[in-house]
Amino acid sequence: MPQDLNEHFAFCVQVLGGTTAASRRLGIDERAIRRFINAERPVSAGLLEDTATALRKLIADATEAEQGISAALNSDAS
């Protein structure tokens, strides 16, 4: 099971935009991110909670960006 958490965390890091972007969003050093991904360090419940929060923020940011694009396209069509 711990390997599954590391693999899932690695997937989440990719969704967040890669190691550098995940590092910024999570406030964790890039080396630490890589250690979690490589199962050199265990993925804690706290890290998973922080990752879920960062993913929710990314969803909100992406939704806002999409709405801006839609609004611009709709105003151009008028």
Mean pLDDT of 14-43: 97
Question: Is 12's pLDDT higher than 70?
Answer: yes
Mean pLDDT of 28-56: 96
What does the alpha-carbon distance between residue 68 and residue 20 come to, in Å, rounded to a whole number? Answer: 26
CA distances to 39, 47, 53, 58, 77 from 7, in Å: 9, 14, 18, 20, 44
Band of the pLDDT at 76, cuts 50, 70, 90?
confident
Q: How many domains does the chain have?
A: 1
Task: Supply the range of the domain harboring residue 12.
Answer: 2-77
Question: Is 67's pLDDT higher than 70?
Answer: yes
pTM of the predicted protein model: 0.85
Mean pLDDT of 50-63: 98
